[in-house]
Structure 1
Amino acid sequence: MVDTAALLDAYDERMRMPGGAIPPGTTHEHDGPLVRIVGPHMGRIRAPRDVGVTGSELDLLIARQRDYFQARGQAVEWKLRGHDLPADLPERLTAAGFTPERPSTVLIGFADRAAAEPVLPDGVVLRRTTDPDDLRRIADQQTEVWGFDCSWLTDVLASRIAADPDQIAIFVAEAGDRLACTAWMMYQPGTEFVALLGGTTLPEWQGRGLYRAMIAVRAREAADHGYRLLHVDASADSAPILRRCGFHEITTSVHYQWTPPDSAA
């Protein structure tokens, strides 16, 4: 039996706050219990499970983050988990103008159990890359699948490589001149965790095992580097595949996003 409560405790202790090398052009600023991540694309707020303030004091804390990024003319997201405290934090974020995005399922898997030789459809080549042209193609592929502009991803991935190439591994599954599936992973230094990110498959290639192959190759990479646990914030489409690969649900997460009025118009 897997102790999911222990996995949740480990996640809360080690995966809440940003760690490792800070990418060029990004800063981390502390405001009370929060870490404000200020970068070129959009701002991000990370917090412990319990922010430790309530009522009007919490409203002021939220407003300071919104107003900070309003002065920058930049959007900001606040990542909230389903077991976070205080319980009325979602309502207070909404009252401050933050809008919840679609919820994700937070799952944890064991690298040694998920690691395997990836099984690929005929004609598909899976490879690791740091090539700048591939980074642009990854952003284009993600834009095509998700239906909104992901061009910023090129710079995000490049900055992660520049900060520390040993903390990120990027994979593409290529079919001819098309990136059928793209994914990457971020090692969390000083912990036993690796975050699995991206995991996006072109519609015509979905259902053919590419997402599962990306899980297998990244799990193997994590295990080879001595990391034990894999973390994913999974969409409704991805969560069932991860469960079949032995991942365990520990909570949910929602990004609450605030966008400057001029940008939203």
Structure 2
Amino acid sequence: MTFETDVRDLYDAEERRGAVTDRPGAVVERAGAVVRQCAPDGGWNAVVWSDLREDTADAEIAAQVAYFAGAGVPRFEWKLYGHDRPADLGERLGAAGFVAEPAETLMVARTAEVGAEPPALPDGVRIEEVTDAAGVDLMMEAHRLAFDEDHPGLREQLLGRLEAAPQTLMALVALADGRPVSAARMEIRPGGSFAGLWGGGTAPAWRGKGIYRALVAHRAAEAARRGIPYLQVDASPDSRPILHRLGFHALTTTTPYIWTNPTTT
């Protein structure tokens, strides 16, 4: 066995088969051969794990479409990993009306190996932890600059987490002379082996200056303080080489397949 195989198996067991809800009001349940989250109040609806065979896959896909359509959700995601079976599951999802979004790479690092020597920040840049609505608004502005799009649903999700379960979230914003230029968060499952790094994005004019790496190191230090052994990222092609240099290993790919409810559009 290798690091990649061992840790991928642990990730599947804890974060997929043993998934827990990411927000108040959502439900995570095992339903036959899948684990799914349903959040009909506007949260993330998804199939996060499946154990399908060639002779059962199409019927299971249809059953999940019927379930989420019956719940009235506008869309749901089938989070497909590169090692999921059957091997043609992506094609079967496409035939059932799902649309694939760009693939990312599931990368994991040992927490102790990341962030030991955080890079120096540029002059005038500081990192602040977000604890209230004003800080979340700064994060949203940083995301808008980084990704050229708004994330209204994310704002409400972060506010809800900070209010209901602040121990499960670390949110950060990087400020340059008081203006937001980058933001990121870490999602924490108490007692779990993985801390998830999400949302890292930097305004174009501030890229290549070590801010992204500093945000990774800052979160790694907190994860180490909490005794969490691994960090996990769904890495874009842009961030993958940076994370590789920081000690992250590529375990598999992950592709969001999105089904949109025709009755709610």
Mark the CA change 1:60 to 1:13 in structure 2 (over 3 Å): closer, same or farther: same
Cross-structure match for 1:44? 46
1:30-109 to structure 2, matched below 5 A, reads 30-39=30-39, 40-48=42-50, 51-55=51-55, 57-71=56-70, 72-109=72-109
The residue type paired with residue 66 of structure 1 is V
Distance 1:22 1:105 in 2: 21
- Mapped pair 1:187 → 2:188: yes
Unpaired stretches in structure 2, ≥5 consecutive residues = none
1:124 Cα shift?
0.7
1:126 Cα shift?
0.4
Cross-structure match for 1:217? 218
Q: Give 3-state SS (helix, strand or coil) of 2:16's partner.
A: coil
The residue type paired with residue 4 of structure 2 is T
**Do 1:140 and 1:150's aligned partners in 2 also have CA atoms closer than 8 Å?**
no
**Do 1:99 and 1:256's aligned partners in 2 also have CA atoms closer than 8 Å?**
yes
**Do 2:16 and 2:35's aligned partners in 1 also have CA atoms closer than 8 Å?**
no
**Do 1:108 and 1:230's aligned partners in 2 also have CA atoms closer than 8 Å?**
yes
**Do 1:172 and 1:182's aligned partners in 2 also have CA atoms closer than 8 Å?**
yes
1:73-222 to structure 2, matched below 5 A, reads 73-116=73-116, 117-222=118-223
The residue type paired with residue 11 of structure 1 is Y
**Do 1:22 and 1:163's aligned partners in 2 also have CA atoms closer than 8 Å?**
no
Mark the CA change 1:18 to 1:9 in structure 2 (over 3 Å): closer, same or farther: closer
Distance 2:73 2:21 in 1: 26
Distance 1:109 1:92 in 2: 32
Distance 1:234 1:189 in 2: 23
Give the TM-score normalised by the residue count of structure 1: 0.90
Mark the CA change 1:73 to 1:196 in structure 2 (over 3 Å): closer, same or farther: closer
**Do 2:73 and 2:261's aligned partners in 1 also have CA atoms closer than 8 Å?**
yes
Distance 1:64 1:133 in 2: 42
Unpaired stretches in structure 1, ≥5 consecutive residues = none
Mark the CA change 1:8 to 1:30 in structure 2 (over 3 Å): closer, same or farther: closer
1:263 Cα shift?
6.2
Mark the CA change 1:97 to 1:251 in structure 2 (over 3 Å): closer, same or farther: same
1:209 Cα shift?
0.7
RMSD: 2.0
Distance 2:12 2:121 in 1: 35
**Do 1:24 and 1:162's aligned partners in 2 also have CA atoms closer than 8 Å?**
no
Distance 1:73 1:167 in 2: 25
Distance 2:136 2:128 in 1: 13
The residue type paired with residue 247 of structure 1 is F
**Do 1:110 and 1:230's aligned partners in 2 also have CA atoms closer than 8 Å?**
yes
1:262 Cα shift?
6.1
Distance 1:230 1:155 in 2: 25
Distance 2:44 2:195 in 1: 23
The residue type paired with residue 162 of structure 2 is I
**Do 2:193 and 2:228's aligned partners in 1 also have CA atoms closer than 8 Å?**
yes
Give the TM-score normalised by the residue count of structure 2: 0.90
**Do 1:19 and 1:188's aligned partners in 2 also have CA atoms closer than 8 Å?**
no
Q: Give 3-state SS (helix, strand or coil) of 2:185's partner.
A: strand
Which stretch shifts more, 225-234 or 26-35?
A: 26-35
Which stretch shifts more, 148-157 or 101-110?
A: 148-157
Give percent identity, aligned residues only. Answer: 38
**Do 1:115 and 1:223's aligned partners in 2 also have CA atoms closer than 8 Å?**
no
**Do 1:20 and 1:189's aligned partners in 2 also have CA atoms closer than 8 Å?**
no
Cross-structure match for 1:16? 16
Which stretch shifts more, 63-72 or 198-207?
A: 63-72
**Do 1:106 and 1:252's aligned partners in 2 also have CA atoms closer than 8 Å?**
yes
The residue type paired with residue 201 of structure 1 is T
Mark the CA change 1:22 to 1:235 in structure 2 (over 3 Å): closer, same or farther: closer
